[in-house]
């Protein structure tokens, strides 16, 4: 059984989320954003040797936050979980980070101690909170007209079930673009007089969008299906469809959008079905991330807007 844990510093506006696979999970990833920050993603390519990962880390703090994975590695090493090299156990722990230095304290980022704390706190997905937790602690959304109009976002998850097949999506939403619900209505993004600015309105004005690397949506699809690394990569690719349906614009030069897929091999399932469910779960997880967020660091949340509308 896999577990998920969070650790955060609410006062300084950063945190990390850890998914742990004690028995290992086949995994791969797909990077679609133009400004990614990652660790150990090259070995997830189907042609590379190592088949299984021990844990996956999603972290705030930009590139410095990748250090949280060191604490997760030590935790897993102490448990005896990892790749047996013949000369000792080496936990395989890919990671991706998002830029939250503009929200809270720019001198704060997840360190190895925070990564270990998240590992110790790991529980089942159903016990995981959403909103201002873990990698979503300092997450914001809607920076296409500048950070001053952005909204508070966070961490979200969604689980889909079809018979014995389970497909879960977890995501920290720190997007440059705006987030919309299933009807297409924008529910979080750049604010103007309490309303979300439709990013498409900038087409008419020819406004210049800028926001280097201050964004990034990072997430993981976890399934109990039996998939090889090629299958996991395909599911990660299909999972990005979920991001594209919930976030606009997405995969910009200013985002480091990265999705992992991990498969625990407990049941058989067609890759197309897993990928389709992954896309649906990821879209809902993104929406849950912004709908569960609470105002912080001077930024309003989707909840504040809904209260105004009521």
Specify the CATH number of the domain 3-309.
3.60.70.12
Angle at 152 (CA atoms; ends 147, 157), nearest 5 degrees: 130
Q: How far apart are CA 200 and CA 165, in angstroms?
A: 38
pLDDT of residue 310: 45
Domain ranges of the chain: 3-309
What number is the average pLDDT over the span 120-146?
A: 95
Lowest mean pLDDT across 137-151, 155-169, 222-236: 137-151
**pTM value?**
0.94
Contact 54, 109 (CB under 8 A): no
Percent helix, strand, coil in the chain, to 5, is: 30, 30, 40
Give the torsion sign (CA, 165, 120, 56, 23): negative
206 or 33, higher pLDDT: 33
Peptide bond into 249 cis (omega under 30): yes
pLDDT above 70 as % of the chain: 95
For the stretch 76-105, pLDDT in tens is 999 999 998 889 999 999 999 999 998 888
What number is the average pLDDT over the span 202-215?
A: 66
**220 to 14, 104, 278: CA distances (angstroms):** 19, 25, 10
pLDDT of residue 253: 85
């Amino acid at each position: 059984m896999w577990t998920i844990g969070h650790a955060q510093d609410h006062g300084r506006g950063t945190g990390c989320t850890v998914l742990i696979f004690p028995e290992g999970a086949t995994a791969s990833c797909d990077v679609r954003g133009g400004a990614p920050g990652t660790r150990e993603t090259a070995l997830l390519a189907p042609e590379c040797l190592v088949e299984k990962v021990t844990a996956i880390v999603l972290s705030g703090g930009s590139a410095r936050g990748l250090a949280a994975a060191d604490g997760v590695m030590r935790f897993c090493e102490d448990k005896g979980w990892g790749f047996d090299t013949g000369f000792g156990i080496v936990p395989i722990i890919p990671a991706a980070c998002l830029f939250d230095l503009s929200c809270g304290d720019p001198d704060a980022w997840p360190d190895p101690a925070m990564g270990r704390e998240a590992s110790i706190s790991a529980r089942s997905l159903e016990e995981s909170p959403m909103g201002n937790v873990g990698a979503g602690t300092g997450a914001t959304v809607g920076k296409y007209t500048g950070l001053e109009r952005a909204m508070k976002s966070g961490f979200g998850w969604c689980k889909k079930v079809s018979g014995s097949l389970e497909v879960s999506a977890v995501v920290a939403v720190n997007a440059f673009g705006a987030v919309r619900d299933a009807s297409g209505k924008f529910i979080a993004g750049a604010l103007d007089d309490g309303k979300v600015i439709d990013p498409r309105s900038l087409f008419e004005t020819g406004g210049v969008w800028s926001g280097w690397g201050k964004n990034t949506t990072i997430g993981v699809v976890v399934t109990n299906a039996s998939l090889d690394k090629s299958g996991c990569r395909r599911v990660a690719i299909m999972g990005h469809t979920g991001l594209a349906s919930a976030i606009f614009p997405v995969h910009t030069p200013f985002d480091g959008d990265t999705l992992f897929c991990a498969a625990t091999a407990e049941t058989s399932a067609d890759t197309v079905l897993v990928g389709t469910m992954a896309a649906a779960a990821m879209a809902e997880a993104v929406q849950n991330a912004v709908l569960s967020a609470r105002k912080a660091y001077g930024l309003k949340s989707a909840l504040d807007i809904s209260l105004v509308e009521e």
